[in-house]
Amino acid sequence: MSVNPNTTANKEQKALGPRASRPPLLTRRQHEVHRVSPEFLAFDVWGIRARLLMLIGCAALISGAGEPPVGVRGDPVAPAKISIDGETLRYEGQIDNASVDEVERVLAAASSVSTLVINSPGGSDAGVRFGEIVFARKLAVTVHKVCASACANWVALPARELVVPNDAILAFHGGTMNMTEENEKFWRGTLKARGAGEDMIETSVRHMKEMRTRELALFKAIGVSYKILEDSQTRRGRSTSRLWMFTRDVLENCYNVRNIKQYPKISPDQTLIDGWAEVIRECPSGKK
C-alpha cells in the first residue's frame, strides 16, 4: 500500500520525525494542566459534534435499539460506566476527559487487563488520550453494539486486535481540526462571536494544536493512514450521512488497518447500517 506523500496529514507526519515505538503520553500532572476547563467545554467543537451524534440517533444504540436518542429525550448525558471483569475492561457511554481519567485509574490497579469491550457513540478529543492508553497497554478491543466517531477514530484503530461482531457497528467521523492559518482565524472568530475572552480563545487554540499533534503521532505509531479521517471529513460535505462504516477490504487495503480479527459481512446491496451509518466500499480518494 502506498500513501500519497503530498497530503496535508503526511506532510505533518513527516514533520514529527522518525516513527516512534509508541505515541507520546502525557503525565498525570500534564493532563491536569491541559485538561479542558468546564468553561471551555461550552465552546469545544468536539462537544458540539458529540451532541450532534446524539441528535441523529447514534447514542440510542447504547441503551438499546429502538429507544429515542439521548439528545432528543432531553436527558442529561450520564457518565460512562466503567468496570473490570477479570481480564476485561468494560466501557459504556460517551468519551470525555473525566471518563478517560477513570480508565487510567482503573487500569493502574489492574495490570492483568488485556481486553477492552466498548459501546460508545464517541465524544470529545479525549478519545486521542484513550487511544494512547489502548496502544501503550496493548489492549485488544471488542465492539459491543457501537463504536462511533471518537471511539472508532482513536480507540479502535490502536488496538492490538480488533473484534467487531456481526451485530456491531464501527463508524468513522472526521478528526481533529488542522489549525491552518485560515482555520485558526475561523476558529478564533467563532469563539469570539460566542463571547469567549482572549485567554479562553488562546487556551482553545493551544489545545486544538496539541491534540492535532498527538493525533498524528498516534496514527504514525500504529501505522494506519491518516487519510481515513481526512476522507471522512471530506465526505461530510457530499453526503447526507455524518458517519461512515468502511468495509473490511477498504480498511485493510486503503488505510492499512492490520489489527482486524473479526468484522461484519456487509451485503452487496446494503448502503446504510441501521439507517444512519453509510457503507463505503471503495477507497474514497483512490488507491492508497
Model confidence over 224-248: pLDDT tens digits?
999 999 887 766 555 556 788 999 9
CA distances from 275 to 32, 36, 241 (A): 40, 34, 9
Split into its structural domains, the chain has a count of: 1
pLDDT (tens digit per residue) in 28-72: 333 333 333 332 233 333 343 433 333 233 333 333 333 323 332
The answer to whether residue 220 sits within a structural domain is yes
Q: Is residue 84 domain-resident? A: yes
Mean pLDDT of the 216-227 span: 96
- Assign residue 216 the CATH number of its domain: 3.90.226
CA distance 201 to 191: 7
Instruction: Determine, yes or no, domain membership for 275.
Output: no
Please name the residues in contact with 94: beta carbons below 8 A apart, sequence gap of 6 or more. 50, 59, 77, 80, 120, 121, 122, 123
Regarding pTM above 0.75, the answer is no
CA atoms within 13 Å, Cβ hemisphere of 197: 3
Among the listed ranges 8-17, 31-40, 204-213, 217-226, which one has the minimum average pLDDT value? Answer: 31-40
Note the pLDDT of residue 122.
Answer: 92
Q: With H, G, I as helix, E, B as strand and everything else as coil, classify residue 90.
A: strand
Cβ neighbors of 73 (< 8 A, separation 6 or more) are none
Q: Is residue 273 part of a domain?
A: no
CB 169 within 8 A of CB 189: no
Mean pLDDT along residues 68-79? 42
User: What's the domain range around 145?
Assistant: 19-225
Residue 185's alpha-carbon distances to 79, 134, 179, 193, 234, in angstroms, are 34, 34, 9, 12, 20
Q: Is residue 5 situated within a structural domain?
A: no
The residue that leads in pLDDT, 33 or 135, is: 135
